[in-house]
Chains A and B, each alone.
Chain A
């Protein structure tokens, strides 16, 4: 049971973003810019960066939701599954391996990011904006994971919920969609 009363039909982050909407607004906007805005990283790649952090932080709701989003955007589920086992043998570019490594370091602590890992990313063609966005996406999911688990929000057991959330993310992004929430009441 959550530590504070939240609307029962809104599990995980969804209930928190409705509980306090004035803080939800900039959090949503930041997420929208980083994960859906113009970028030289694909939306699938950006969801993989989010997923590696959620997985490492053992946040079951966020991990399930962003794994589903990455899978739906990539059109397969093997990359996200392999990435969680070992970044180096994941079937992604050398640049993505370097960025995922940076994200995993940010998850531990900002101080864990090494000059060597940044140089590896640059050598593989990563731009300053790609490195910046990787660090900020990883940091942002350290916020989300702590918000969601720190208040003990509900984690749906039904995989269908995360599939439907992933479709919402793909089609409508991270903006507030009251209509989508109303559907959960049924």
Chain B
């Protein structure tokens, strides 16, 4: 049961956004602009970074919902997502993506864990300033979302089918705050 009195049956961040729409609005706007707005990283790559960080934070709701969105966006290459969650270094993604995921993993631990050499490696594989920036901000943002969702013990569905549905909605409609 959630730590606070949120609407019954509304899962994860949606229940929290309905509880406090004033903060729900900018939270959804941030997710939308960061994961769907302009970026040199594809939407699939950005959802993959979000999934990777949520997985490292053991946030079941965020991991499964964003993994579903990422699988949907990767289409025929949807096994990429599970490959990264299983073993990032040997997953079928580019060296640039591995370097960016490595930076995201450092950010998940703590900001100061990101070292100059991590950024040098990413640049050597072709990452530009904006890709490095967006990777760090996505990882930082999900370090917030994961704590928000789990810190209030929000409702977490266990049925994988529920997440598949969510992932589809996140791809088709983007991040739209729930209406009370």
Contacts and interface: CB of A to CB of B under 8 A. Distances in A.
Interface of A: 3-5, 16, 19-20, 22-23, 25-27, 29-30, 33-34, 37, 57-59, 102, 105-107, 109-111, 113, 115, 118, 128-129, 131-133, 135-136, 138-140, 142-152
B153 interface: yes
Contacts of A34: 23
B26 A30 contact: yes
Q: DSSP majority for the A interface?
A: helix
Contacts of A57: 110-111
A133 B18 CA distance: 14
6 contacts: A4-B129, A26-B27, A27-B30, A128-B5, A142-B144, A150-B103
B148 A139 contact: yes
A109 B58 contact: yes
Contacts of B153: 113, 115
B40 to A, nearest CB: 12
Interface stretch (B76-84, B89-97, B134-142, B161-169): B134-142
Nearest to A117: B3
B34 interface: yes
A147 B26 contact: no
B149 interface: yes
A20 B3 contact: no
B23 A143 contact: no
Contacts of A110: 57, 59, 146-152
Nearest to B104: A150
Contact of A132 (B4, B25, B57, B119): B4
Nearest to A108: B147
Contacts of A142: 140, 143-144, 147
Contacts of B59: 110
B136 A129 contact: no
A20 B133 contact: yes
B137 A20 contact: yes
Given A135-B148, A136-B23, A151 B133 contact: yes
Contacts of A152: 114, 116
Nearest to A27: B30
B145 A150 contact: no
B95 to A, nearest CB: 18
Contacts of B41: none
B3 A131 contact: yes
A132 B20 contact: yes
The residue among B22, B33, B59, B144 with the most chain A CB atoms within 10 A of its own CB is B144
B29 interface: yes
Given A22-B37, A23-B33, A109-B57, A132 B19 contact: yes
Interface in B101-136: 103, 106-107, 110-112, 114, 116, 119, 129-130, 132-134, 136
B171 interface: no
B49 interface: no
